[in-house]
Amino acid sequence: MASYYRRKKPDMVFLNAKPINSGNAQAYLHGVRKYSIGLAERLDSDYIPPPNDGKRSSVSTIASNNPDFTPSIFYRNIAPVNWFLRIIGVLPIVRRGPSRAKFALNSAAFIYSVVFFMLLAFYVGYVANKRIHAVRSLSGPFEEAVIAYLFLVNILPIIVIPILWWEARKIARLFNDWDDFEVLYYQISGHSLPLNLRQKAVYIAIVLPILSILSVVITHITMSDLNLNQVVPYCILDNLTAMLGAWWFLICEAISTTAYLLAERFQKALKHIGPAAMVADYRVLWLRLSKLTRDTGNALCYTFVFMSLYLFFIITLSIYGLMSQLSEGFGIKDIGLTITALWNIGLLFYICDEAHYASVNVRTNFQKKLLMVELNWMNSDAQTEINMFLRATEMNPSNINCGGFFDVNRTLFKGLLTTMVTYLVVLLQFQISIPTDKGDGDGNSNMTVVDLLMDSLSNDMTLLGAPSTVATPSTTTTAVPPTVNRSGRGRKG
């Protein structure tokens, strides 16, 4: 772990650098960087170094030694959403201080998560059994069956809880890496990381669950009979998906803000004084931030692979149910389908858009800052460090990748929408091929969805040229073959 009071490397200064005074020299001996803009005012004044007994300081004790340093800024900014997820049995991570987050099977948080998951699983199993019986006894058009299956798909997010148990160790390691990054940022820049996401996280933790519960209640009122016993697990699971999306949003927002601040800090430092050691330190800081960006996707790999597939599935079904009923006019069921489609599309968009914005800020915007640096007034060592910095941004990927499955960016959102349109066209064609029985009054109105599917399959096989095994009396004719006399005698004369 990097220490705040590490000795400074030999400096490579520019030709126009001002010599340091005695007060500055005392500051350098205690680890304060001379190019730190945040401490520039203190360097030329009477600097009183903090007491140091020769021991190496840790991240957990750096706040007591340096009153200007604020530890665990990242964790404090996303803490409201973290606590909400822990209340619903997700993220059983124990954290006793900076860089001390861990996942333990014998911890109280994990035991609570297991108990909550078991109770929720029994509750969801009861509701799923009721929904399956409703689907089996369903009779009517095919789109009504799709709407009924939509309620079964809505209970799938319960699988996310054990997936997050599997990834809890990687998430705890990600929290610890953020604490180490904050210490390194303070060493180089001279001030704590100015993340101001706490208020936004509090608003999200309050407003988003209320909106989620309202959407579930309105959907059940408009699309099925409102049963409070069955609405409760849907509210919990819908809040789970919504808050996971908000958690991802805050993490990507923290990465974006940090990358922007780091780029601005680096550009401002170059305008004042730019030793090669300073460029090297900012390069190390950027490499740590790039690693945090990649680790974000790896730590939440399987969770957001499942989330992307789930959102794709639920959006496809809801839009199909909405489009299939628009021919009969906009009804009360379409309100619930519209809310479900818009809610999940918005969630998928923010997941992809924030990840894309974070990747662009970490890599592309930083490359622009490096390309705008004037090298003609720098010495050869500083120019070499700038070139190495630029090469590092090219060779180190900064995309948020879900474990090698796919990159989370706007291209993913576009690709999912394109695939969704293809499936919607197939489903609508399948619905058109199903025969309607509105004019039949001989009891065929009780035909089930399975019968409709079998009739549609029979019609498709007929169009393909398959031999039909059913013959109708009105269209079949019996051809009588001519009689042939096969005896040996012929006719006379």
Which tens digits make up the pLDDT trace of 191-211? 888 888 999 999 999 999 999
pLDDT at 20 over 80: no
Q: Is a pLDDT exceeding 80 seen at residue 269? A: no
Provide the 10 A C-beta neighbour count for residue 178: 26
In a domain, 335, yes or no: yes
Least confident window among 48-62, 311-325, 394-408, 432-446:
48-62
Please tell me the pTM assigned to this model.
0.74
- Residues 87 and 210: their CA atoms lie apart, in Å, by 16
In a domain, 86, yes or no: yes
Burial class of residue 297 in the structure, from the number of CB atoms within 10 Å of its CB (0-12 exposed, 13-18 middle, 19+ buried)? buried
288's CB contacts (< 8 A; 6+ apart) are: 177, 180, 181, 184
The DSSP call for residue 158 is G
Q: Which domain holds residue 329?
A: 73-433
Q: Are 162 and 183 spatial neighbours (Cβ–Cβ below 8 Å)?
A: no
pLDDT digits (tens, 9 = 90+) for 70-84: 888 999 999 999 999
Separation between Cα atoms, residue 227 and residue 137, nearest integer Å: 19
In a domain, 296, yes or no: yes
Bridge partner list, 94: 102
Name the pairing type of β-strands 101-102 and 94-95. Answer: antiparallel
Within a domain: residue 333? yes
Most distant CA pair in the chain, distance? 145
| Domain annotation covers residue 194 | yes
Token match 């999940």: residue? Answer: 344
Residue 47: inside a domain: no
Q: For the chain, what is the domain count? A: 1
User: Is 455 among the domain residues?
Assistant: no
Decide: 153 and 314 in contact? Cβ < 8 Å.
Answer: yes
3-state secondary structure 396-415: CCCCCECCCCCECCHHHHHH
Residue 444 domain-assigned (yes or no):
no
